[in-house]
Structure 1
Amino acid sequence: MPVLTSEAMVLRTWPVQEADLIVSFFTRDYGKLRGVAKSALKSRKRFGGALEPMTVARAWFAEKPRQDLVRLDQLEILSSPLSRPVDAIRLAVLSFYAEVLEEALPERDPHETIFRLTTAVLEHTTAVASNTVQPWMPLTYFTLWITRLMGLLPDIAHCTICGEALHAEEVNFNFHADGFFCEVHRHTSDTLLSADSWQSALRMLRNPVASFATEDWPRRRAQDLRRFLQNTLERHLERKLRSAEALARL
């Protein structure tokens, strides 16, 4: 069995037997994989602290003939979210990234754009750990872009029904439908999206995450947009995201 290597991020682990782990990891070159890490709980040399969710590492693994699980031989940390102080909110945001990728990505299907998106938001999620600067901006950016890249977000500049250009004061959304609606085609149960949220979303779809790093992003900013996007993800995944519920409780 030839040993393959790729940059990867750890999504989830499950214990099996006494010291082994099953590891779900998202690789840049081969997509999402699951592998058996033999004696992972005992071998600090081969895995060390690289098994924490959203750790970016160089992975060495081998595919077994006629088996779904690969043999995961080693993880070498490239960047770890735990290398800096991490508060409860950041831990919940990191768990959200991991859960969405775990649930949304198909097995063995490379998604270079999603990999680059995630590494970019990870840098800004853990860049500053303080009570005044929180990771709501990278969370918003990730949720918007992952929804778009999964094909679940129509053109947000135009009404999903009639195709007419939307205006900041009349952008409506519904928790049971994709896209945004104009005043003419809104339903009675629709919710008005704030002008700042809609304009921020338009900017985020045109610019890299780094360009928003100096802006003030308190929790309330774009909260309605995040709620709509998370609901869209849950509706299409057909399950509640436990990490989103944890974030809401914090």
Structure 2
Amino acid sequence: MSVALVLSVKEISESDLLVSFLSRERGRLSAVAKGARRSRRRFVNKLEPGHLLRIHLRKGRSGLTPFLEAADLLFAPENFRTDPRRFTLASYFIELCERSSPPAEGREIFPLLLENLKFLEKRSPPPILKPYFELQLLRLLGWSPEFRGCVTCGKELASSAYFSFAGGGLRCEHCAREGDRVISPRTRAVLSALFRLSPDSLSRLRIPEDEIREMATLVEAFLKKVLDQDIKALKVLKALESYEKRA
């Protein structure tokens, strides 16, 4: 028995589904839901991305994928499924966690994903939520960028600093190289502070839109470089943002 969030569901036969979970106790795992497509009585309204379940598994043969015997529904988001922006952002968070967690790993990011899904269920997301989640995910995975000092010489940073994608953090003006991106002192301070905040505290921040765009672009680009994968939900999120700007 394990408590787990549903990450994705795939059809693998006329009657069976392959469900990907992020488990509090076991990290990312997959299980076959036998007969789930033909008879949904056992899993009605349960096998949906973002749902929190208590799952009961049965071992597969010779170490193969286990079977999902039963599931108890613990949390089912409803509000953000009717809000395109909240739903798309939740889908992005879920896909990020699935793509960044190898099998049997990812236990440390379970609380982060659950906390942010519950936040999206309660309220509309502030613009800073996306880079906040991305930074927290990077931190938990051990890929957090360095904002406290120069990643090359180790000295404290003056007013001028440059973000190095190759170096994984900030460089001072003496160590900056071609391709490094200039970053303002205020943006640097906010990015550092985001590691210590919770989603509920983000709405109290007063950050100009241009600074949020600067942070969002920087963090997203760094995350994409680290993961080296295309996140499908990100393309949908970008398309939605573009539509909202034109509307």
Fold similarity call, TM over 0.5: yes
The alignment covers a number of residue pairs equal to 240
Partners of 1:96 and 1:38 lie apart in 2 by 28
Pairing of 1:90-169 with structure 2 (within 5 A): 90-109=86-105, 111=107, 113-129=108-124, 134-167=125-158, 169=159
Q: Structure 1 or 2: larger helix share?
A: 2
Gaps of 5+ in 2: 241-247
**Which amino acid is 2:119 matched to?**
H
Deviating above 4 A after TM superposition, structure 1's stretches of 4 or more consecutive aligned residues are: 216-221
Post-superposition offset of 1:102? 1.2
Task: Rate the CA distance shift 1:238–1:109 in 2: closer, same or farther, 3 A.
Answer: same
**Which amino acid is 1:121 matched to?**
N
Identity across matched positions, percent:
27
Partner secondary structure for residue 61 of structure 1: strand
The answer as to whether partners of 1:84 and 1:126 remain within 8 angstroms in 2 is: yes
The answer as to whether partners of 2:150 and 2:156 remain within 8 angstroms in 1 is: yes
User: Is 1:48 aligned to 2:44, yes or no?
Assistant: yes
Partners of 1:170 and 1:83 lie apart in 2 by 43
Pairing of 1:159-198 with structure 2 (within 5 A): 159-167=150-158, 169-198=159-188
User: RMSD in angstroms over aligned alpha carbons?
Assistant: 2.4
User: Is 1:88 aligned to 2:79, yes or no?
Assistant: no
Gaps of 5+ in 1: none
Q: Deviations along 1:52-106, whole A, 9 cap, x unmatched?
A: 2122222111222423411012232222233455322222211211211111112
Q: Deviations along 1:142-181, whole A, 9 cap, x unmatched?
A: 10011122222243211111112234x4232244442122
The answer as to whether partners of 1:136 and 1:218 remain within 8 angstroms in 2 is: no
Post-superposition offset of 1:216? 5.2
TM-score with structure 1 setting the length: 0.84
Partners of 1:245 and 1:110 lie apart in 2 by 24
Task: Rate the CA distance shift 1:84–1:100 in 2: closer, same or farther, 3 A.
Answer: closer
The answer as to whether partners of 1:32 and 1:109 remain within 8 angstroms in 2 is: yes
